[in-house]
Amino acid sequence: MKYDVIVVGAGAIGSYLAYKLASYGYRVAVFEQKEKLDGKTCCTGIISTECFNSFPISNEVVLREASSAKVFAPSGASLKLEKDAVQAYIIDRSALNAHLADEAQANGVIYFLSARVTDIIPKPRYVQVNIDRSGEKHVFKARAVALACGLSNLPQRLGLGKIDDFALGAQAEVNIHGIDEVEVYLNQEMAPGFFAWLVPTSASTGLVGSLSYHKPASYLERLLSRLHQQGKISLDGGDLRQKAIPITTLPRTYAERIIAVGDAAGQVKPTTGGGIYFGLLCADIAAESLRRALAVDDLSARRLSQYEREWKAKIGREIAIGYWLRRLYYRMSQKQIEQVFNIVKSKNIHELLLNSKAFSFDWHGKLISSALREPKLLTALIFGVLVPFSRAPLRREATASRAN
């Protein structure tokens, strides 16, 4: 057989996984439906310093550093979150995809572009992968397949179930005026159930985006026009892109000779929708599980179930706590968001959280559970936020069907 592993999708996660597998000496091919490796993406590209330092991410893809952000309540009141040290990097996401693909190719990975995987058929001794390249059909074989295809119906067709809660993101590139830090908007008229943002990518350009369960483009248009009225951006008819973000995980992330990783598996922070770091962490675990399974030529579902146990041990609790927080926020009305914001600001709860030893850009579950062990913060959260908040009725109920 020509390939040990076929990776479906040349996003950051697929290329990083391919790079790792090739570095173990395996023959790897990546199939990507897009024409180019550095094509436009719909991603803001914010990653923590922890993520940047843990993976082979070149300085060349970094557009800016970020050590602060401004959060805006629905009323327009704001509070600043600031640390002395750099907390995150804003990267050129298309350049990251291309950079990781370059690294993989340098390790011997073969890329097929404009190659859409139409079918994956597990056989007793290999997996058959059917490809459509500009109308031409091709068949490839490999010992195993890694699904790194983002949110897609391929996992469901392989019996892995489906991700039933996902948000829709819309984002546009804009020219900015005098904005030099990340801005986050909690106004539910711009991002119902979620949040919106303006992220400067250079002194004069930025990304404006919004998340919601439906009609993301129309909420983004509303946000763009509001920011334009405020003089923060100019409307120059820039590209508007849309993409889905998984909020829950895939019911099963392995099968005989198959694993799913990254957005395809729902390995995303449910609080923010950020998936680069968790996806890369899980790609490391996937590469190691495949390495062990290929070495003994045992690619059974039983053997690969180890992958799911390991990635859940790493980020499962984070995702569970994050999802709980996400659901709580989703159910809050505009008024309740304003109330909680005012309490947090007046009692300086944001400062307590930022200065807590457990503060982390990525590990929100750990932050919450550690924060709850700090008496001062625990008291502020219980009497400042939870008690007043629990007295007010909640607004909405999130349903998976709204996402579909």
Ligand X SMILES: Cc1cc2nc3c(=O)[nH]c(=O)nc-3n(C[C@H](O)[C@H](O)[C@H](O)COP(=O)(O)OP(=O)(O)OC[C@H]3O[C@@H](n4cnc5c(N)ncnc54)[C@H](O)[C@@H]3O)c2cc1C
The residue ranges that bind ligand X (CB under 6 A) are: 8-14, 31-34, 42-47, 116-117, 148-150, 152, 154, 169, 171, 209, 243, 245, 262-264, 268, 273-277, 279
As a whole number of angstroms, the distance between CA 104 and CA 115 comes to: 18
Q: Given the complex with ligand X, which of 321 and 340 has the nearer CB atom? A: 321
Least distance from C-beta 367 to ligand X, angstroms? 17
Least distance from C-beta 196 to ligand X, angstroms? 10
In 3D space, the residue among 214, 219, 182, 203 whose CA is nearest the CA of residue 81 turns out to be 182
Least distance from C-beta 146 to ligand X, angstroms? 11
Instruction: Report how many helices (DSSP H) and strands (DSSP E) the chain contains, helices first.
Output: 13, 19
Q: Given the complex with ligand X, which of 245 and 349 has the nearer CB atom? A: 245
Least distance from C-beta 150 to ligand X, angstroms? 3
Give strand pairing partners of 139: 130
Least distance from C-beta 157 to ligand X, angstroms? 10
In 3D space, the residue among 38, 11, 402 whose CA is nearest the CA of residue 216 turns out to be 402
Residue type, 213: Y
Least distance from C-beta 332 to ligand X, angstroms? 22
Which residues lie below 8 Å from residue 334, measured CB to CB, with a gap of 6+? 74, 187, 188, 189
As a whole number of angstroms, the distance between CA 158 and CA 336 comes to: 42
Beta-carbon count within 10 A of 394 CB:
13
Report how far apart the first and last C-alpha atoms of the chain are (Å, whole number).
40
Q: Given the complex with ligand X, which of 72 and 381 has the nearer CB atom? A: 72
Least distance from C-beta 216 to ligand X, angstroms? 8
In 3D space, the residue among 1, 33, 35, 29 whose CA is nearest the CA of residue 17 turns out to be 29
Residue nearest to ligand X (CB): 275
Q: Given the complex with ligand X, which of 285 and 343 has the nearer CB atom? A: 285
Residue type, 133: R
Q: Given the complex with ligand X, which of 25 and 39 has the nearer CB atom? A: 39
Q: Given the complex with ligand X, which of 44 and 336 has the nearer CB atom? A: 44
Residue with tokens 């001062």: 376
Q: Given the complex with ligand X, which of 112 and 352 has the nearer CB atom? A: 112
